[in-house]
Amino acid sequence: MVGGHRERAARIRADIERGRHDPASFRAALLSVPPGERDDWVDRVLGLGELPDDDPELPAGCVPYLPCSVDALLRVIEQARVRASDVFVDVGSGLGRAAALVHLLTGASVIGLEIQPRLVLAARDLAARLLLSRASYVEGDAAKLAGFITIGSIFFLYCPFSGDRLAKVVADLESIARTRTIRVCCVDLPMPACPWLVPEPPIAPDLAVYRSTLCEEPFRREGTVSRVVRS
């Protein structure tokens, strides 16, 4: 990465830590970075280092933590039309990187669900350092928690699990979809057949965005991230 981009990342991080942040300016700065350098640039802005080791007692069926690429997240934001009024739920949030980036780019409230305690602590530290007041990270099994995040409007899955655990999450989201239209975003994750989820026209082979059809009423916010009880 050239020095100019490193210096700008440091300046932007300092501004965010002082409470001075504008999503439009942040997006422009990110898009000015060559695609192949964007992941490193974002990690510098967020102050992230090497990936931690996964918990040796990670439950069967869970996937070891691997961060989603920045460009994939940009496509998620575009195709799912993430707005500041949304509540973006990251199912299997790891270090909190994806949720934090979505918030910084859009202003949306974000909630991360993560089963590994060390990753949850790191994500909460990230939110505290960057003064991300609209970010919350919840410790627990995302396969059991997702259906309880009733204020969520967009649910993001980047290979957190598959099989029965994924099927349970999809089934639990149905009750939320009966109260409002939600969107489900999957990166590198085949979804089980679900008649109440309609796929949006694809913009990339690794991304699938679905819109629920059980309730055609406009999305209506019922609360904020602060209503989620942290474990």
**Gap between the Cα atoms of 199 and 209, Å rounded:** 6
Residues 35-70: pLDDT tens digits? 999 999 999 999 998 877 666 666 665 666 788 999
Backbone angles phi, psi at 199, to 5 degrees: -70, 140
Contact, 192 vs 166, CB < 8 A?
A: yes
Buried-exposed string 86-105: b where 16+ CB fall within 10 A, e elsewhere: bbbbbbbbbbbbbbbbbbbb
What would the mean pLDDT of 201-205 be, rounded to a whole number?
90
140: pLDDT strictly greater than 80: yes
The overall average pLDDT reported for the chain is 88
170: pLDDT strictly greater than 80: yes
**Of residues 113, 115, 109, 74, the one with CA closest to residue 90:** 113
What pLDDT score does 147 carry?
A: 93
What would the mean pLDDT of 70-98 be, rounded to a whole number?
96
227: pLDDT strictly greater than 60: no
User: Which residues lie below 8 Å from residue 207, measured CB to CB, with a gap of 6+?
Assistant: 72, 75, 76, 79, 185, 186, 187
**Gap between the Cα atoms of 88 and 183, Å rounded:** 10
- H/E element, 183: strand 183-187
Whose tokens are 């961060």? That residue is 67
What pLDDT score does 229 carry?
A: 36
What pLDDT score does 192 carry?
A: 86
What pLDDT score does 191 carry?
A: 87
More confident residue, 222 or 85: 85
Residues 171-199: pLDDT tens digits? 999 999 999 999 999 999 888 889 999 99
Domains, the chain, ranges and CATH?
A: 3-46 (no CATH), 70-218 (3.40.50.150)
What pLDDT score does 157 carry?
A: 94
What pLDDT score does 219 carry?
A: 42
**Of residues 74, 66, 89, 73, the one with CA closest to residue 136:** 89
**Burial class of residue 133 in the structure, from the number of CB atoms within 10 Å of its CB (0-12 exposed, 13-18 middle, 19+ buried):** middle
